[in-house]
Amino acid sequence: MQTERSVAKHDEAEIRDVRRTTCCVVGGGPGGAVLSLLLARRGVDVTLLEAHPDFDREFRGDTIHPSVMEIMEQLGLADKLLELRHSEIRSATVQTDAGPFTPLTFSDLKTRYPYITMMPQKVFLKFITEEAKRYPNFRLVMEARVRDFVEEDGVIRGVRYEAEDGWHEVRAVLTVGADGRGSRVRKLAGFEPKKTSPPMDILWFKLAREPDDPEGALGRVGRGHIAILLDRFDYWQAGYVIPKGAYPKLRHEGIESLRRSFAALIPEFADRLDHLADWQQASLLSVESSRCPRWYRSGLLLIGDAAHVMSPVGGVGINYAIQDAVVAANVLAGPLKDSQARLIDLDTRYLAAVQRRRELPTRFIQALQTQIQHRVLANVLRSDQPLSPPRWLRLLTRVPLVRSVPARIFGLGLWPVRVKE
């Protein structure tokens, strides 16, 4: 006899409906949305559950790296995507006390998309889910907050979610947790990510944008501080990088101290800081980096931030989530269709294969990010001296072949993934 896990908050009578699908994806972020599209294209029944009523996210990543544009091209969607409002960053220059320093130059990359496409994440997610809606086997449910698993004999058979009108159940051959860094699915599965604590946090706030401002992104490094400005078309998303745990002290010193330090780094924006009058206008991002030792269980797979939270160094979080989605779809579409047709469980070997293929690139980039955090960023944040990169590094970044290496690693990845049709 099958045993089913009981749900503490509600009983069976409260479930308004039970729907069946082949793959239930929890979380409509970049990873979940792209996976749903890819599976739908391959003829797999997919239900995507998203907790929020829309895709609007304040202060989220808007960076689409060349690797993702290549994936979009393989799907025949790149040109259509680039018709939407966006800007392009071809290199990243940081102003240091010794002058400009350009550690990332994308224009040397051998790709049709040698730049970072800056596009609001909500626009990208809407684009992807609209594409998925063209397939009748795709279903999107917004405002669906997943609270619990449907579990039988240790196999995850779907989820229960809470919506405005009550509780619902989705039964599936495979449940995918793509629900981000605070993943509910990961907690329900009992997976504990191994965390490393990068030596910094970031305060994000908005600054007014003026018509003559440059496009793209700006970065400044000064004595003990790093400032970032990201172009959001209608405003600037300003980031102020502080040493980990320094927020209470900064707050104690008053908002004026934040305005002063930021203005010292980017003086041309000083007058726009006047509107920053309250700490409520700034959000603290506690920077973290983590990875789950295991990404799957019978009937369940984690992808994206749910499996591994990436440090903001190199802005690769979205790209890694999307690459996980591509590999998961490549590996699982066939076996899922087979399970659907023959009413059998999905063999966990396929889930293990997804983790195997994605874990190494994730480990590699996280190790690189850790080195950059500890050897470069921690020193910058600790220093009260004028800063400049060593001369050998400046010279190296002038050699085209060497100059393209960081952009290749962060922009295309060491193991680029391709969509299997």
Nearer to ligand FAD, 59 or 279 (CB): 59
Name 189's Cβ contacts closer than 8 Å, sequence gap at least 6: 149, 156, 177, 297, 300, 302
Question: Which of 66, 103, 120, 180: binder of ligand FAD (CB under 6 A)?
Answer: 180
Build a one-symbol-per-residue string for 30-59: x at contacts with ligand FAD by CB under 6 A, - elsewhere. Answer: xxx----------------xxxx------x
- Look up residue 56 and give its amino acid: D
Q: Least distance from C-beta 288 to ligand FAD, angstroms?
A: 10
What dihedral angle (degrees, nearest 10) is formed by the CA atoms of 320, 326, 327, 328?
A: 100
Which helix (H) or strand (E) is 350 found in, with range?
helix 348-372
Question: Strand 225-231 relative to strand 166-177: parallel, antiparallel, unpaired?
Answer: unpaired
Question: Which of 63, 91, 290, 373: binder of ligand FAD (CB under 6 A)?
Answer: 63
Q: How many residues bind ligand FAD (CB under 6 A)?
A: 36
The Cα-based distances of 411 to 67, 71, 307, 414, 415 in angstroms read 6, 13, 21, 9, 11
Nearer to ligand FAD, 340 or 362 (CB): 362
Identify residues 94-133 at the interface with ligand FAD (CB under 6 A).
none
CA-wise closest residue to 221 among 311, 99, 316, 373: 99
Q: How many residues does the chain have?
A: 421
Question: Which of 7, 22, 25, 28: binder of ligand FAD (CB under 6 A)?
Answer: 28
The Cα-based distances of 351 to 26, 189, 304, 348, 416 in angstroms read 16, 15, 14, 5, 20
Identify residues 279-318 at the interface with ligand FAD (CB under 6 A).
285, 304-306, 310, 312, 315-318
Nearer to ligand FAD, 49 or 328 (CB): 49
Alpha carbon 108 to its chain's center: 25
Q: Least distance from C-beta 33 to ligand FAD, angstroms?
A: 7
Q: Least distance from C-beta 200 to ligand FAD, angstroms?
A: 13
86 and 118 Cβ atoms separated by less than 8 Å: yes
Q: Least distance from C-beta 141 to ligand FAD, angstroms?
A: 9
Exposed / middle / buried, residue 137 (Cβ in 10 Å: 0-12, 13-18, 19+): middle
Identify residues 134-153 at the interface with ligand FAD (CB under 6 A).
144-146
Nearer to ligand FAD, 104 or 310 (CB): 310
102 and 389 Cβ atoms separated by less than 8 Å: no
The Cβ-side half-sphere exposure at 355, using a 13 Å CA radius, reads: 19
Nearer to ligand FAD, 339 or 417 (CB): 417
Q: Least distance from C-beta 363 to ligand FAD, angstroms?
A: 16
Nearer to ligand FAD, 30 or 222 (CB): 30
Question: Which of 7, 26, 276, 313: binder of ligand FAD (CB under 6 A)?
Answer: 26
Nearer to ligand FAD, 370 or 383 (CB): 370
Question: Which of 42, 86, 168, 184: binder of ligand FAD (CB under 6 A)?
Answer: 184
160 and 276 Cβ atoms separated by less than 8 Å: no
Q: Least distance from C-beta 274 to ligand FAD, angstroms?
A: 24
Nearer to ligand FAD, 21 or 319 (CB): 319
213 and 272 Cβ atoms separated by less than 8 Å: no
Identify residues 317-376 at the interface with ligand FAD (CB under 6 A).
317-319, 321
Q: Which residues of the chain form contacts with ligand FAD (CB under 6 A)?
A: 26-32, 49-52, 59-61, 63, 144-146, 178-181, 184, 204, 285, 304-306, 310, 312, 315-319, 321
